[in-house]
Chain A
Amino acid sequence: MSRSYYEKLARIDLTAGTVAVEPLELEKAQRYIGGRGLGTKILYDEGVATVDPLGPDNKLVYITGPMTGTPSPSSGRYMVCTKSPLTGMIACSNSGGIWGAKLKHAGWDGLIVEGVAKEWTYLLVDDGEISFHSAEQYVGMKSEDMDEALRKVHGEKASVLNIGPAGEHQALLAAIINDKDRAAGRSGVGAVMGSKKLKAIVVKASVGHVTTLHDEDALKQATSRCLGILKENGVTGQGLRAYGTAVLVNIINNIGSLPTKNWQEAYFEAAEKISGETMAETCLVKPGACFRCPIVCGRIVKLNDGKVCGGPEYEPLWAYGANCGVDDLNAINVANMLCNEYGLDAISTPCTIAAAMELYQIGAITEADCEGVPLTWGSAEAIVEWTRRMGAGETELGKRMAQGSYRLCEHYGHPEVSMSVKKQEMPAYDARGIQGIGITYATSNRGGCHVRGYMISPEVLGLPQQLDRTVTDDKAAWAKTFQDLTAVIDSMGNCLFTSFALGAQEYADLLNAATGTNYTVETLLEAGERIYNLERLFNKAAGMKPEDDRLPKRLLEDPIPGGPSKGMTSKIALTLPQYYEARGWVDAFPTEETLRRLGLAE
C-alpha cells in the first residue's frame, strides 16, 4: 500500500565503500513522522549520542519527510541530522532548494552515512543506484564552482549538495550547501561531512514526483485549500515575496529589539540602510523560490561588481549589519555570498565576528592578532575579509573564529562575550525586549536558535494572535506548543514559513492524505512533543546538564541601554520553571511519567 514513504533507506559505509539498502520501519516512521523526528530516532537508537562528533563513529542522516517532493506547498525540505561538533548535542539542519525533493523522487527516504572515506569522495545517487567517486580533484573548491563542476559531469538536471573549504578543514561553523545557495546551515553539520572526507552528494532522479502517495485526490484537495490560505495571508501571499525576511530589520529595530554591537545595544540607528525595503529599492534582482513554494522568500541580488548571486535573508543582514555595526548593504551581500561559497553558517559566522569585535573593543584581541584587518565596529572590510579568512582557515585568529564565538571568547578569558546558548550563537531577536523568544533560545535542543519555536510570530507579528512582548504570562505554554508544532512541520518536510498561515489542522490533513495516517490536531502535536522529548533524551545521553538551558548573563543582568525597550532584561528565571512544568520535565529532563505518556519509556 502506498504511504508516501518509499520505505527505503540507504546505509552508506564510507570506510568499507559499501551501500546497503534497508527497509524503513513504517510504524516507526509514522510515529516520528519522518525528517527531523525520524532522523533523530535513528541516531538515538544507534547510540550516536555518546560518540566523538568528528570521529568515525558519528553518522550523518540526510533525510526527507513524507511530504518532501510532494505537490503540497513548500515541500522542498530535507534535513541533516547528526551529533553536532559545535554543541556536542543533537544537530538537525534544515534546507530547501530542490536537492531534498530529488532525493525523494529518486526513491529514497534518506541516506545514513557512516565511517570515513580513505580519500576525498563524492556520492552519486542515480535513482536506485548509489556509487562512490573520487573528489580529490575538487578539494579546495568553493560550493558554487563545485555545483557547476559536478553538474557538468552528471548533467544539468542533477542537484548537488556539497561542503566548501570550511567543511574540509572542519570549521565548527561549517554548513552544507545545496543548489548553490541553500544551506543546512547550523550546528556545524559541514564539519562532520568534512571529517568523513565526503565532499558532495549528487542526486539524479528520472521522475519529478513522488509515486507512492496514499490518496492523490485527497492530497490535491488539501493542497488546494492550503494554497488558498497561503495566498490570502498577507505575510505568505505578498509580504515575503516583495521584501523577503529582510523586512524584519525595520520591524524588530522599531521595537528596540535588534541586537546591536554583539548585543551591547538593541537599537541600530542605521537599520534603514540594511533593510528589506532598501534591498528591494537598490540591489534586488528578483525573488527566488525553493521546490513547489508559493511564498518565494529567497532573494537574488546584484553585487556592486556586477555578480548576481543568492542574497541575504534577515539573519545575516542583522548579524553582519547591526550586530557588527555595519551599514554597508553591499558588503553584507558579499559576506553572505562568501558564507555560501566557503560553506559557513551565515548566522554563527557573523555573530562570531561580532564577538571578536567586542573582544577587540575591550583589548583582548590585539591589533597584531588582526593581521592588517582590524576588527573595528562598522568596518565593511572586516566583515568581508574575516568571513573569507574563517572560510579558508587563514590566520591563527581566523581559524580560531571558525570554531565559533564560545571557543573564541573562552580562549581570550571572556566567555561572557559569547552570545550563545549551548555554544551556538543566538539569532536576531533580543530576548530582553521579547520575553517568549528567550524560552525558545534557552530550551532549544540544538542551542541558540529561533526556528525551534518562533515566538516572534505571536509576540511581534501578531500571528495567530497578538501577545504582549514585554510580559511573561502564558509564554511558557505558547513556546511549548510552537516547539511541538515546529517539530511536526520539520519532520513532514514542509517549510516552516507555511505556518504563518496554516495551522495544525491543515498539516494533519496534508499528512493524512499523503500517508494514510489518521492524525488529529491533538495526536499530531503529541507526535511533535514526542520528537522534542526524544531530542532531549539524545542530549541527556550526550552529557547535557540542566544548566545548559540558560541565556547569556548579559540578557539577565544588563538592561537594554537605550531605544524603545530601554531598561528591559530577560525574565527567563521566571518562565523556565513554568516551561518545565508545562513539558512534564524536572531539572531540564522528562520525567518517567512524561516518557510513558509519549511512548518513549525504555
Chain B
Amino acid sequence: MLEVRLFATLRQGREKVYHLDAAGFPDGTAVLDHLHIPKEEVAIFLRNGFHRPTDTALADGDIVAIFPPTGGG
C-alpha cells in the first residue's frame, strides 16, 4: 500500500489521507492524476520525508506527502 497525505488547500474536495494499492501507482504522476491534482498546484512533494520531483518512482510502503505553495516562518 501507499499512504498519500494531502495538506492545506489540496484537502478541499478531497480526503486528508488516501491508502492506495501500490501496484496501480508506479510514480507520483499516477497519484496526482488519480486525485485530480494539477502538477502546478504542487509545491512540495515528499517521498518518505524527502523532497522529490512529482514523477518520482514509488514503491510499496511509501508515504507520500503533498503540499501546495505555502510557508511561513
A242 near B8 (CB under 8 angstroms)? yes
A462 near B44 (CB under 8 angstroms)? yes
Decide yes or no: A454 and B73 within 8 Å by CB, A461-B43, A462-B51 being known contacts.
yes
B72 near A248 (CB under 8 angstroms)? yes
Residues of A within 8 A of B11 (CB): 277
B65 at the interface (CB under 8 A from A): yes
Expressed in whole angstroms, the Cα–Cα distance for A244 and B69 within the complex equals 13
B73 near A451 (CB under 8 angstroms)? yes
**A235: contacting residue among B9, B46, B49, B70, CB under 8 A:** B70
A539 at the interface (CB under 8 A from B): no
Residues of A within 8 A of B56 (CB): none
A60 at the interface (CB under 8 A from B): no
B72 near A466 (CB under 8 angstroms)? no
**B72: contacting residue among A244, A255, A272, A564, CB under 8 A:** A244
Least CB distance from A325 to B in Å reads 21
A250 at the interface (CB under 8 A from B): yes
A466 near B51 (CB under 8 angstroms)? yes
**B65: contacting residue among A254, A276, A451, A496, CB under 8 A:** A254
Residues of A within 8 A of B70 (CB): 234-235, 238-240, 242-243, 247, 251
**Interface residues of A, dominant DSSP:** helix
Q: Which residue of B lies closest to A500 (CB)?
A: B71
Expressed in whole angstroms, the Cα–Cα distance for A272 and B17 within the complex equals 12
Expressed in whole angstroms, the Cα–Cα distance for A239 and B49 within the complex equals 21
B44 near A461 (CB under 8 angstroms)? yes
Q: Digitize B7-44: 1 where CB-to-A-CB distance is under 8 Å, 0 elsewhere.
A: 11101000010000000000000000000000000011
B46 near A254 (CB under 8 angstroms)? yes
Q: Digitize A214-244: 1 where CB-to-B-CB distance is under 8 Å, 0 elsewhere.
A: 0000000000000000000111001110111
Residues of A within 8 A of B5 (CB): 254
Expressed in whole angstroms, the Cα–Cα distance for A496 and B50 within the complex equals 26
A254 near B49 (CB under 8 angstroms)? yes
Expressed in whole angstroms, the Cα–Cα distance for A451 and B50 within the complex equals 24
B49 near A255 (CB under 8 angstroms)? yes
Residues of A within 8 A of B51 (CB): 255, 462, 466, 468-469
B55-73: which residues lie under 8 A (CB-CB) from chain A? 65, 67-73
A276 near B73 (CB under 8 angstroms)? no
Expressed in whole angstroms, the Cα–Cα distance for A460 and B43 within the complex equals 10
A450 near B73 (CB under 8 angstroms)? yes
Q: Which residue of A lies closest to B70 (CB)?
A: A239
Residues of B within 8 A of A468 (CB): 51
Expressed in whole angstroms, the Cα–Cα distance for A574 and B52 within the complex equals 26
Residues of B within 8 A of A461 (CB): 43-44, 71
**B50: contacting residue among A297, A313, A450, A470, CB under 8 A:** A470
Decide yes or no: A251 and B49 within 8 Å by CB, A239-B70, A245-B73, A497-B73 being known contacts.
no
Least CB distance from B62 to A in Å reads 11
Q: Which residue of B lies closest to A280 (CB)?
A: B8
B8 near A247 (CB under 8 angstroms)? yes
B72 near A240 (CB under 8 angstroms)? yes
Decide yes or no: A234 and B69 within 8 Å by CB, A242-B8, A254-B5, A468-B51 being known contacts.
yes
Count chain A CB atoms within 10 A of each CB in B9, B16, B65, B72 and give the residue with the most: B72
B73 near A242 (CB under 8 angstroms)? no
A457 at the interface (CB under 8 A from B): yes
Residues of A within 8 A of B8 (CB): 239, 242-243, 247, 276-277
Residues of chain B touching chain A, judged by Cβ–Cβ distance below 8 Å, are: 5, 7-9, 11, 16, 43-44, 46, 48-51, 65, 67-73
Q: List 28 A-B contacts (CB under 8 A).
A: A233-B69, A234-B68, A234-B70, A235-B70, A238-B70, A239-B70, A242-B9, A244-B72, A246-B72, A247-B71, A248-B72, A248-B73, A250-B7, A250-B65, A251-B70, A251-B71, A255-B46, A255-B50, A276-B8, A451-B73, A454-B73, A460-B44, A461-B43, A463-B71, A466-B51, A470-B50, A497-B72, A500-B71
Other than the known A240-B71, A497-B72, what 17 A-B pairs have Cβ atoms closer than 8 Å?
Answer: A234-B43, A234-B70, A239-B72, A242-B70, A244-B72, A245-B72, A246-B72, A248-B72, A248-B73, A250-B65, A251-B44, A251-B71, A254-B5, A254-B46, A276-B8, A466-B51, A564-B48
Pick the 4 closest A-B CB pairs, nearest first.
Answer: A234-B69, A564-B49, A245-B72, A239-B70
